[in-house]
Amino acid sequence: MIPTTDLSADLKKIAEKVKAGQRITDEEGLFLFENASLGFVGSLANGIKEKLHGNKVFFNRNFHIEPTNVCVFSCNFCSYSKLYAKREEGWELSIEEMLNMVKKYDGIPITEVHIVGGVHPKMDLQFFADLLKAIKSHRPSLHIKAFTAVEYDYMFRKAKVNAEEGLKFLIAAGLDSIPGGGAEIFHPEIREKICADKVNADGWLNIHETAHKLGLHSNATILYGQVEKYEHRIDHMRRLRELQDRTKGFNTFIPLKFRNKDNDMSNVPESTHIEDMKMYAIARIYLDNFPHIKAYWPMLGRQNAQLSLSFGVDDIDGTIDDTTKIYSMAGSEEQSPSMTTAELITLIKQVHRDPVERDTLYNEIKNYSSINAEVNAEMN
Ligand code: V47
Ligand code: SF4
């Protein structure tokens, strides 16, 4: 698109393209970030969301295990590993301790465990394969979504295996899919400033591409609202859109708002709520080949998660237990994130959407639109 001096005519052209189901260019994406009102992008994004998923909003029943906050890397935005470095709070869980966390959910109808943490020099490929095996042999039907590309890159290099060999080894042990963390911002100019020493963009994308080729699905994130510019957000999403064109392996895109408490970037102000909604909306518009856009409520807070459902978001993740520390330590609204299924359903219904419980791969488990959350005992 060649911008003219007539802003509203240029925006109208983009709107026509989007409504016709056409892909927008990088220049048009940037133009939206720089010139479009929140209402404009919100309405386009909501139109796409409703075309794809109607009035449905997805959630799942999951819990998190964070094996450790010890980390060999030193991302400047990370409050989590910082506390360990200052000897203020650190943990390293054994396989037995993590298995006991899984056992706590015996008889409770959760469908997913999400495992992610710091990169501990002693927790290696074999340790994690043993962990996956232990969980699978205790509860074979539990979907294991585990480890970011950052953790894989380190454990595979240490074990001297390539991505394909390492992933095959973990799939044999019980790995089912890969979460979206560690992507941050791919552009080297920003990556160098915020997380110089961990896997770069090509390494992150290669691990996800290899996983997709082996039949796994994965998610992708962006850490926005820190020192990046709009052009870096577009660059990030372009790399993901290109990979998705090749593999179709991504399920969902998750914008993660930078939180600034107790980390080395505390001087960087956090983005406004308006900026947050704009990020969701433009992600929904630009990433035309991603089936889902997720708002991670423990980081955004409940009300903003509700608001995001009018800005292109169709998924608000799950009933995460308070084992998730990466955000509470960085200053999110949710200091002890946990919601019952009934609370999640009520949250979605309050904004007149239809709550649908899904599994990790977005197979629908139950539509709660005509079920009264408060009186349904089986939901907690
Ligand atoms: O990669 C760390 C982020 C991510 C901060 O795939 C921060 O379903 C904001 O990726 N401010 C890990 N963000 C969490 C993650 C995730 C979460 C929920 C669902 C899924 C999924 C994936 O947390 C890291 C990093 O980008 N993070 N510190 C911070 N101060
Ligand atoms: Fe380590 Fe992840 Fe924190 Fe970076 S964001 S320091 S890789 S725990």
Tens digits of residue pLDDT in 65-87: 999 989 999 999 998 775 556 65
In this predicted structure, what is the pLDDT of residue 4? 60
More confident residue, 336 or 341: 341
User: Which distant-in-sequence residues (6+ apart) come within 8 Å of 93 by Cβ?
Assistant: 65, 66, 67, 68, 101
For 102-135, the pLDDT digits (tens) are 999 999 999 999 999 999 999 999 999 999 999 9
Beta strands in 171-277 (DSSP E): 177-178, 217-224, 250-257
More confident residue, 282 or 373: 282
The strand pairing partners of 113, in sequence order, are 63, 144
CA of 316 to the centre of ligand 2 (A): 23
Burial grade of 34 (CB within 10 A; 0-12, 13-18, 19 or more)? exposed
d(CA 175, CA 360): 13
| Nearest alpha-carbon partner for 113 in 169, 176, 167 | 176
Instruction: Give the range among 164-173, 207-216, 341-350 with minimum mean pLDDT.
Output: 341-350
Residue 375 pLDDT grade (very low, low, confident, very high; cuts 50, 70, 90): very low
Check pocket membership of 182 for ligand 1, CB cut-off 6 A. yes
For residue 348, the Cα-to-chain-centroid distance in whole angstroms is 19
Q: Ligand 1: which of 61, 326, 360 to mutate, most ligand atoms within 8 Å of CB?
A: 326
| Residue at token pair 């999640």 | 344
Ligand 2, pocket residues at CB < 6 Å: 71, 73-75, 78, 80-81, 118-119, 150, 195, 198
The pLDDT of 345-355, averaged and rounded, is 95
Using a pLDDT cut of 90, give the percent of the chain over it: 81
Report which residue type is found at 357: E
User: What ligand 1 atom has the least distance to the C-alpha of 218?
Assistant: 6
For the residues of 236-250, what is the DSSP string, one character each? HHHHHHHHHHHH--E
Q: Which ligand is nearest to the CA of 217?
A: 1
| Nearest alpha-carbon partner for 238 in 253, 259, 251 | 253
| pLDDT surpassing 70 at residue 282 | yes
User: Which distant-in-sequence residues (6+ apart) come within 8 Å of 234 by Cβ?
Assistant: 26, 29, 30, 33, 286
| pLDDT surpassing 60 at residue 324 | no
The segment with the largest mean pLDDT, out of 70-79, 247-256, 311-320, 338-347, is 247-256
For 296-307, the pLDDT digits (tens) are 888 888 899 999
Neighbours of 372 (CB within 10 A): 11
Tokens of 361: 């791969």
In this predicted structure, what is the pLDDT of residue 224? 98
CA of 106 to the centre of ligand 2 (A): 31
Check pocket membership of 265 for ligand 1, CB cut-off 6 A. no
User: Which distant-in-sequence residues (6+ apart) come within 8 Å of 203 by Cβ?
Assistant: 149, 153
Rg (CA), the chain: 20
**CB of 182 closer than 8 Å to CB of 150:** yes
Specify the DSSP class assigned to residue 294.
B
On average, the pLDDT of the chain sits at 91
Tokens of 51: 């075309």
Q: 315: part of which helix (H) or strand (E)?
A: strand 315-318
| Nearest alpha-carbon partner for 357 in 341, 339, 338 | 341
In this predicted structure, what is the pLDDT of residue 89? 67
Neighbours of 358 (CB within 10 A): 22
In this predicted structure, what is the pLDDT of residue 75? 95
Is pTM beyond 0.85? Reply is yes
d(CA 50, CA 168): 37
Q: Which ligand is nearest to the CA of 83?
A: 2
Three-state SS at 64: strand
User: Which distant-in-sequence residues (6+ apart) come within 8 Å of 187 by Cβ?
Assistant: 201, 228, 232, 235, 236
User: Which distant-in-sequence residues (6+ apart) come within 8 Å of 5 by Cβ?
Assistant: none
| pLDDT surpassing 50 at residue 51 | yes
CA 173, 177, 181, 183 dihedral sign is positive
More confident residue, 320 or 193: 193
The pLDDT of 133-149, averaged and rounded, is 98
For 146-168, the pLDDT digits (tens) are 999 999 999 999 999 999 999 99
Tokens of 212: 């997709």
Q: Ligand 1: which of 217, 256, 270, 325 to mutate, most ligand atoms within 8 Å of CB?
A: 256
The strand pairing partners of 80, in sequence order, are none
User: What ligand 1 atom has the least distance to the C-alpha of 178?
Assistant: 6
| pLDDT surpassing 60 at residue 97 | yes
Neighbours of 2 (CB within 10 A): 5
The pLDDT of 28-56, averaged and rounded, is 97
Instruction: Give the range among 81-95, 238-252, 297-311, 348-362 with minimum mean pLDDT.
Output: 81-95
The pLDDT of 194-217, averaged and rounded, is 98
Q: Ligand 2: which of 82, 119, 256, 258 to mutate, most ligand atoms within 8 Å of CB?
A: 119
